[in-house]
Structure 1
Amino acid sequence: MLKYPEREGIKDRLAVAPTGSISYINESTASIHPIIQRIEERTEGKRGKVYYPAPYLSDETIPYYESAYDIDQRKIIDTYATAQKHVDQGLSMTLFTRSEFPEGMYEWKKDSTYPTKKTTRDLNILRNYAWKKGIKSIYYVRTFTDNNETFSINECESCSI
C-alpha cells in the first residue's frame, strides 16, 4: 500500500465498485454477486449482442454454477452482511427474484394462497431480513419472468417504478 504523508493518521477507506460490466473485461465474477446466467447475453451499443460465459465455465464445472435467480436470497444477504463488516462504505447489493418462486423455497409461503407467486410481502420480508443483518442498502431488485408478462428478463423493478 502506498503511503501518503498528507493522509497520515487518517483511517484507510475501502469501497467495492459496482463491478457488473467491469467483471466481464477482467474475466471474473461481479464482486461477490452470484452469476445471473452461465452464459450471459448483453447488448452493447454498436457491437450488438455479446456473450459472456461465467469465469472458468467448462463441461466439468457447469454443475457448480447456479443462477442468482434460483438461490434463496437470504444466502446472498448473509454473504453481503459478512462482507459489509469489512467495508467502510455500502456494498451495491441486488436482490434477484423470479416472478414465480420454486415451490418450497421460502417457508413463509407454505400456507400462502399463492405459494409460488412473488408478492410485495415477500420483498418486504427479504428487505427486513437484510436490514436486520446490517445491509446498508439494496441497490436493485431484479425480476426474472419466463413469459415476459410483467417485466422483461432481468428487468430492474426499482428502475421501473
Structure 2
Amino acid sequence: MKEAKNKELFAAIHLPTKADWQALKEAVAKDGLYHRNRLAIAPNGSISYINETSASLHPITQLVEQRQESNVGSIFYPAPLLSDQTLPFYTSAYDLDQRRIIDTYAVAQKHIDQGMSLTLFMRSVLPEGLYEWKNQGTSLMTTRDLNRLRNYAWTKGIKSLYYVRTFTEDDEIHTANECTACMI
C-alpha cells in the first residue's frame, strides 16, 4: 500500500499474500470445500431498500422508487444518500443502455458460482439514440429489442435474465409476469 492513510486503515488487518492464496488453492484442490458455493450476490430489490443501501450490482432503479406493499400501501424509497449535491451522480436504470448492466454482471459472473438476479430495466418507449439498431422514429420497445439484449447477455456468459421490468409512459412499472407483451 502506497498511501499512509491506507496503511493506517489496514494496519491491524491481515491481508493475504500470494503465498496464502496458493496455500488455499492447494488445500481446496486436496480437500475440497465444505460449502459448495463460495460467493453469491446480495442484496437486491426489497432487501436493499430495507437496509437503505444500493441493490448490489443493480443500478439505481429510480431516484425515488415507489413500492406497493399489500399491508401498508405505497412506500417510497429514495436512492441511498440522495441529496441536491448527489443528484447529478444518479442515472435511472431505465435510462441506461442495458448492455452496460449486462457487461457489469458478466464481469462478476466469472467469479460467482451461482446465477445472479440480472434484471433488465426497459422503457416502453426507448430514449432516442439509446440503441443503434433502432431506426429513427421507431422508439417503441419490442420483443425484438429484448431478444437482442438476451442474445447479447448469452454471448457475455450470463446464465439467465431474472426479470424484465418495463417502465411505461404513465409511470407504471410492470414485470414480465404482469405484462404479456413484455415476455420473450
Counterparts in 2 of 1:11-160, with a 5 A limit? 12-17=37-42, 19-110=44-135, 115-147=138-170, 153-160=172-179
| Alpha-carbon distance change, 124 to 12 in structure 1, aligned in 2, over 3 angstroms | closer
Q: C-alpha distance in 2, partners of 1:68/1:136?
A: 21
The alpha carbon displacement at 1:93 in A equals 0.3
Q: CA RMSD in A?
A: 1.7
The alpha carbon displacement at 1:13 in A equals 2.2
| Alpha-carbon distance change, 80 to 46 in structure 1, aligned in 2, over 3 angstroms | same
| Alpha-carbon distance change, 136 to 18 in structure 1, aligned in 2, over 3 angstroms | farther
Is contact 2:42-2:55 (8 Å) kept?
Answer: no
The alpha carbon displacement at 1:147 in A equals 3.0
The answer for unaligned runs of 5 or more in structure 1 is 1-7
- Relative contact order, CA 8 A, sep 6+: which one is greater? 1
**Which structure has the greater CA radius of gyration?**
2
What SS does the corresponding residue of 1:52 show, helix, strand or coil?
strand
Q: C-alpha distance in 1, partners of 2:160/2:177?
A: 12
The alpha carbon displacement at 1:20 in A equals 0.7
The answer for unaligned runs of 5 or more in structure 2 is 1-30
- Work out the percentage of aligned pairs sharing the same amino acid: 61
* Alignment TM-score, normalising by the size of structure 1: 0.84
4+ runs of 1 displaced by more than 3 Å? 158-161
The alpha carbon displacement at 1:12 in A equals 4.9
Is contact 1:18-1:92 (8 Å) kept?
Answer: no
* Alignment TM-score, normalising by the size of structure 2: 0.74
Is contact 1:15-1:88 (8 Å) kept?
Answer: yes
- AA aligned to 1:52 is Y
What SS does the corresponding residue of 1:128 show, helix, strand or coil?
helix
CA-to-partner distance for each residue in 1:33-66, whole Å, 9 max, x for gaps? 0111111111223222211111011100011111
